[in-house]
Structure 1
Amino acid sequence: MNTRSLNRRPQRGAALLLAMLIVTLVATLAAGMVWQQWRAIEVESAERARTQSAWLLGGALDWARLILREDARDGGGDALTEPWATGLAEIRLSTFLAADKDNTQDTGLDAFLSGDIVDANSRYNLRNLATDDEETAKRELLAFTRLCDALGLPAAVAQRIAEAMAVSSEAEDLVENSQKAQASAPIRPQRVAQLRWLGLDQPTIDRLAPYVTILPNTSKVNLNTASPEVLMSVMDGLDRSSAQRLVQQRAQLKKGFASVSDAAKALGDKFGNSANAWAKAADFRSDYFEVTGQLRYEDSVLREVSLVQRQGAEVRVLWRERLSK
């Protein structure tokens, strides 16, 4: 073997190594480009899905606003016997597409939309506890204490929430008036779930949730939609049996009781003189409603809750919140 052949071997080895390095580099770059493209597609798909789900859930909200506007045009009180309280049963989205004469394609989209409307005025409004009027504050605390007692909760829970709502309201008033608020003043909860800020445990919040709400302003309870527990709390002197009888009697009326006086009369002579006192905390109409929309697609379930305020024929959205699974 001559010297020239021996010199060519290292050169061929170096060339082969260089070729392998180039192939490896090209493969790495190609893999990186593929991964970047896949990631961009995933991000775009997720954003498209989020946008589409928000649009579809907005459809449930639009349905609720339409129902509430039509109900306002009918006039009268608000009761659980009206169409808005029926809710939107789960329906396949392709049903809506099939109703469109210009759409002749079967999308095969197995997505289902449902929704319901809950009268927020059927619950005790914790905002009522934050008042500067001493007499009203005592009456509201007594009412909320009765509600806690009916739910099997200690009176200390009512006292804690009332004090926190009052202090946080004072702090917000100071901020609005450009005055310095106390750093230790709690932030006023805007949702019932936020009562955790006041140091309440989750079981207590879960127990209160179906019976209380937090609205932007003070409000009265709708006696045509409230539960017996809430009726007992705000209508002084009303026992459980009378509250349940009131619920049964209103269910037989198309739009519930037309006034607080009618409700008192329906309960008999025992409560005949209670209408004036009850009118301070109870009414037969509602201004606030919670709308829940649910979108079910394959294994995913998306839920969104909104608070709307109805003023005449106008239904305004105050807030929207996507619920966790």
Structure 2
Amino acid sequence: MNRHSPPAAKQQGMAIISALLIAAVVAVMAGAMLTRQTVFTRSLEAEQLRVQGSWLLQGGLQASRQLLWEARQKDVLTRLDQPWARPFGGAVEGQLDDEQGKFNLRNLVTQQIPDATQLQNFQRLCELIGIDSVVSQRISQRVIASYDQRTTTPADSSPHTDVNNPRGTVPGAAAEILPAKYPMLRSLDDLSGIKGLEPRVLTRMAKFVSVLPDTTWVNGNTASAEVLSAVVPGLSLPQAQALVIERDSGRWFINRGDFVNRLRMPQVAVDTVQVGITSEWFRWQGQARREQRRVRAEALLYRPEDRQARIIWWRVGA
């Protein structure tokens, strides 16, 4: 009978253990490579779905631009009963919002000077929608600090906005320009760092407040009762609510004079009411579903009188 010597048996046992260790290491490496490959594949698939969703969203955006153009061709008024104002569905779901039916924070600064009247209007709106006065003051300060400001003389201390020229007019000339302390606002999301401005409050604000690149009037045909009550001197919220109910029943305002007459407030002069009946600025929001993934996007559109709406900015999110 052949017998192995103890050293030979020990060597054989070590060889077996080494082989098992090598096999284990190879298995771990193979598993890690397979995991990385799986992650890479899934990332690639997710990116492909995102790109496909982005193309769908761009198609939906172009369709909305066409709706805005057609509405402008048919009627100078911008109203909530027009096709653009209806939520859209299909491959892309979403809606267009009239940003001039909201209070434009850009109006807080007119010709590089804080506008006292607009500041009062904004504070009034914040009271109506339940935003704490301290928080609303912080918002105003942040907005003002986002734009260049000029030194004023006593004659310049009361800027006003001319509704026939929404960019406003201020007498006098600037002696000195003070640069903005913060980047210019592009959307309400830029206010998220303000102390006390919680996400739920910011979400609520979005229904009544916009941030546009230029000063604007409020569209009386699309504005909420809260916004109208805030921007029309002496108009109570119940009066504004009654006015909106009458308007939405089909009695749309045909011009600013018609709006003022239906206020039934003889003390209010047409030139003091910063309310119009058309809109140039719209916010588009949409989402596309590709398999189990949703891709969302939003855009700011500017619609001049004589051409199709132009895309000011566009961003895609997960």
Q: Which residue type is aligned with residue 128 of structure 2?
A: A
Q: Which residue type is aligned with residue 300 of structure 2?
A: L
Identity of aligned residues (%): 30
Q: Answer yes or no: is 1:225 the counterpart of 2:219.
A: no
Q: Which residue type is aligned with residue 80 of structure 1?
A: L
Q: Which residue type is aligned with residue 288 of structure 1?
A: W
Is residue 49–residue 293 contact of structure 2 (8 Å, CA) maintained in 1? no
Name the structure 2 match of 1:97: none
Gaps of 5+ in 1: 94-112, 173-178
Instruction: Give me the whole-angstrom Cα distance separating, in 1, the residues matched to 2:18 and 2:129.
Output: 79
Q: Which residue type is aligned with residue 271 of structure 2?
A: N
Cα distance change, pair 35–151 in 1 and its aligned pair in 2 (3 A): closer
2:93 to 110, 114, 128: 114
Name the structure 2 match of 1:84: 84
Is residue 264–residue 275 contact of structure 1 (8 Å, CA) maintained in 2? yes
Instruction: Give me the whole-angstrom Cα distance separating, in 2, the residues matched to 1:303 and 1:45.
Output: 17
Q: Which residue type is aligned with residue 274 of structure 1?
A: A
Deviations 1:114-164 (A, max 9, x none): 111110110000111123466x71111121122123224444444333232
Name the structure 2 match of 1:294: 287
Instruction: Give me the whole-angstrom Cα distance separating, in 1, the residues matched to 2:51 and 2:43.
Output: 12
Q: Which residue type is aligned with residue 61 of structure 1?
A: L
Considering fraction of residues, name the structure with more helix: 1
Instruction: Give me the whole-angstrom Cα distance separating, in 1, the residues matched to 2:58 and 2:266.
Output: 45
Instruction: Give me the whole-angstrom Cα distance separating, in 2, the residues matched to 1:7 and 1:24.
Output: 26
Q: Secondary structure at the match of 1:197?
A: coil
Is residue 50–residue 295 contact of structure 2 (8 Å, CA) maintained in 1? no
Q: Answer yes or no: is 1:146 the counterpart of 2:141.
A: no
Q: CA deviation at 1:321?
A: 3.8
Instruction: Give me the whole-angstrom Cα distance separating, in 2, the residues matched to 1:212 and 1:231.
Output: 12
Name the structure 2 match of 1:176: none
When the two structures are superposed, what TM-score results if normalisation uses the length of structure 2?
Answer: 0.78
Q: Secondary structure at the match of 1:59?
A: helix
Cα distance change, pair 206–87 in 1 and its aligned pair in 2 (3 A): closer
Name the structure 2 match of 1:105: none
When the two structures are superposed, what TM-score results if normalisation uses the length of structure 1?
Answer: 0.76
Cα distance change, pair 180–3 in 1 and its aligned pair in 2 (3 A): farther
Q: CA deviation at 1:206?
A: 3.9
Q: Answer yes or no: is 1:236 the counterpart of 2:214.
A: no
Instruction: Give me the whole-angstrom Cα distance separating, in 1, the residues matched to 2:36 and 2:239.
Output: 68
Is residue 54–residue 295 contact of structure 2 (8 Å, CA) maintained in 1? no
Q: CA deviation at 1:210?
A: 1.3
Decide which moves more: 43-52 or 240-249: 240-249
Instruction: Give me the whole-angstrom Cα distance separating, in 1, the residues matched to 2:134 and 2:12.
Output: 88
Cα distance change, pair 180–170 in 1 and its aligned pair in 2 (3 A): closer
Is residue 135–residue 197 contact of structure 2 (8 Å, CA) maintained in 1? no
Instruction: Give me the whole-angstrom Cα distance separating, in 1, the residues matched to 2:105 and 2:178.
Output: 25
Is residue 219–residue 279 contact of structure 2 (8 Å, CA) maintained in 1? yes
1:37-76 correspondence runs (5 A): 37-76=37-76
CA-based RMSD of the aligned residues comes to: 3.1
